[in-house]
Amino acid sequence: QLQESGPGLLRPSETLSRTCTVSGGSLTTSTYYWAWIRQPPGRGLEWIGTIHYRGTTTFYNPSLESRASMSTSASRNQFSLKLKSVTAEDTAVYYCARQTKKWEVPKYFDLWSQGSLVTISS
């Protein structure tokens, strides 16, 4: 299972921080990558980024790459997202997910967290 945590309300210009805890399994598997995806209220899905458990390989959505960073903690079985300089347009449900891979190329998402709404408002 995946469970995200972090503040649900931020002010514009602050940094969004989310942490995803992997339970019932290990973060340090070479079979999967780990990813963040978001969904603005009433809208579709947007992939944010993907990370290998070693933290040495990351992929980001070009539209968010300048503001997003991801990291991992093998000891805590967690991975995290930071998104700088948020605006109201970053208001969304944020999901963490497990992403399959083949020949080190990210593929589809086979396990999702329940998701949490993060609101950006002054």
Partner 1 sequence: IKLTQSPGTLSLSPGEGGSLSCRASEPLSSPDIAWYQQRPGQPPRLLIYAASNRATGIPDRFSGYGSGTDFTLTISGLEPEDFAIYYCQQYGRLVGTFGPGTRVDIK
What's phi and psi for 89, nearest 5 deg?
A: -70, -10
Instruction: Rank residues 5 and 14 by Cβ distance to partner 1 and give the closer one.
Output: 5
Q: How far is the CB of 11 from partner 1 (least distance, A)?
A: 27
- Report d(CA 101, CA 59) in Å as an integer: 13
Instruction: Rank residues 76 and 107 by Cβ distance to partner 1 and give the closer one.
Output: 107
**Distance of alpha carbon 45 from the chain centroid:** 12
Tokens for 45, please give them: 């899905």
Which amino acid does the sequence have at 100? T
Q: How far is the CB of 29 from partner 1 (least distance, A)?
A: 17
Distances (CA, A) of 62 to 20, 65, 67, 102: 22, 5, 10, 22
Residues that bind partner 1 (CB under 8 A): 44-47, 59, 61-62, 95, 100, 105-110, 112-115
Instruction: Rank residues 53 and 109 by Cβ distance to partner 1 and give the closer one.
Output: 109
Q: How far is the CB of 98 from partner 1 (least distance, A)?
A: 10
Q: How far is the CB of 101 from partner 1 (least distance, A)?
A: 10
